[in-house]
Amino acid sequence: MTSDAPPRTPSRTAPPPTPAVGGPPTAGQALSRTGVAALVVLGAVAVSLLLGSNAIGPGAVLERLLHPALDEGAIVWGSRVPRTVLGLLVGAALGIAGAVMQGQTRNPLADPGIFGVSAGASLAVVLGVYVAGVTSVLGILWMSFLGAVVASVAVFAIAALGRSLSSPVPLAIAGTAVTALLTAITSFLVLTDQSTLAAYRIWVVGSLSGRTLEGIGPAIVMALAGLVLAAANIRSLDMLALGGELAQGLGENILRARLVGLGAITLLTASAVALSGPIGFIGLTAPHIARAMVGAGHGRLLPAAGLVGAGVLLLSDVIGRLIGGTGEVSVGVVLTVLGGIVFVMIVRRSRMAAL
């Protein structure tokens, strides 16, 4: 009796799976790349302290750091140290705020300015100068912080009147409308008073030049509070990446997630704007660079975005010092040029990925 069973083929061991090419980085890769970013930031700190319009050798800079009373100690401690510290704080705050903003809106081209924070701070500074004659560093810091908070609250209140906050669209629309209104009021005020215009022009360009460490204490407290809220928002940001409705279906409290995220963005951006004036493109570009380094998980993304933001801002400030000759080019101008190039590259890459 013959069997109709098919002949048995010799068993073969399945080949090991081929690792995906171009997939998300592993935890080890993300950690090593974050470490490299930290080293780059340390290098940027050294470059910021060593280079400037006044030629001072590395040995002389180190000696002045240890002995401020020596000749040219005022240049190192009165100019380079403050702007380096402020560059670290402002760049890191804007980088993290941008990452939270893009996670909240699920929009890779979103910037912290969408929530009206910069526009609110600008209007508050103008009102402080126009109405009360505020010119001190601390006065401008508190006015800009107050304006940023009021603008953010207004944006959230307007957005909450419309559709469900499971969608980021109401927040984006409300932020755009509030920003346009506040910018129009600011323009009207500065054009009707020359002294206000002069003070506003110095502040609005966005610069680390001439800044001191006066008032940095309150700004650090604001930034740390924003950092705590951003850390508390990490899980919610990962859930929101799935879509607001799906995240809500999985048990995520969307209202709480939006409030915590908005609070983090407001505090981080307000502290940065209060110290340096409005500086653009850091909040847009730093998260993209960080995402390419460590992936989209916000537990890795936020620290990397802070490091990238600090490094990019410090290096841009150094470039502005060197290309200006005896003067210098504002870091806001340098970042606008560099950020515009990066923005075009991001848009082009997005279009190519869609083909």
Q: What is the pLDDT of residue 79?
A: 77
Q: What is the pLDDT of residue 206?
A: 81
Q: What are phi and psi of 297, to 5 degrees?
A: -65, 125
* Paired tokens of 257: 């997630």
For residue 166, pLDDT beyond 70: no
pLDDT one-digit tens code per residue, 168-177: 778 788 888 9
CATH for 82-354 is 1.10.3470.10
Q: What are the structural domain ranges in the chain?
A: 82-354
Q: 302: closest CA among 218, 221, 244, 232?
A: 232
Q: What is the pLDDT of residue 322?
A: 82
Amino acid occupying residue 198: A
Q: What is the pLDDT of residue 7?
A: 55
Q: What gap in Å lies between CA 279 and CA 273, rounded to an integer?
A: 7
Most confident of 19-28, 243-252, 261-270: 261-270
The three state secondary structure string of the chain is CCCCCCCCCCCCCCCCCCCCCCCCCCHHHHHHHHHHHHHHHHHHHHHHHHCCCCCCCHHHHHHHHHCCCCCCHHHHHHHHHHHHHHHHHHHHHHHHHHHHHHHHHCCCCCCHHHHCHHHHHHHHHHHHHHHHCCCCHHHHHHHHHHHHHHHHHHHHHHHHHCCCCCCCHHHHHHHHHHHHHHHHHHHHHHHHCHHHHHHHHHHHCCCCCCCCCCCHHHHHHHHHHHHHHHHHCHHHHHHHCCCHHHHHHCCCCHHHHHHHHHHHHHHHHHHHHHHHCCCCCHHHHHHHHHHHHHCCCHHHHHHHHHHHHHHHHHHHHHHHHHHCCCCCCCHHHHHHHHHHHHHHHHHHHHHHHHC
Q: What gap in Å lies between CA 138 and CA 132, rounded to an integer?
A: 14
Most confident of 2-16, 54-68, 96-110, 127-141: 96-110
Amino acid occupying residue 164: S
Q: What gap in Å lies between CA 19 and CA 175, rounded to an integer?
A: 43
For residue 164, pLDDT beyond 70: no
The band of 178, judged by pLDDT with boundaries at 50, 70 and 90, is very high
Tokens 């939006």 -> residue: 258
Q: What gap in Å lies between CA 330 and CA 324, rounded to an integer?
A: 9
CB 54, CB 75: distance < 8 Å: yes
CB 51, CB 317: distance < 8 Å: no
pLDDT one-digit tens code per residue, 282-331: 988 899 899 989 998 999 999 999 999 999 999 998 888 888 666 778 88
Q: What is the pLDDT of residue 20?
A: 46
Average pLDDT, the chain: 82
CB 296, CB 103: distance < 8 Å: no
Amino acid occupying residue 231: A
Q: What gap in Å lies between CA 285 and CA 76, rounded to an integer?
A: 30
Q: What is the pLDDT of residue 352?
A: 46
* Paired tokens of 345: 């590259």
The band of 280, judged by pLDDT with boundaries at 50, 70 and 90, is confident
Q: What is the pLDDT of residue 229?
A: 96
pLDDT one-digit tens code per residue, 40-77: 999 999 888 887 666 676 777 777 777 666 666 677 77
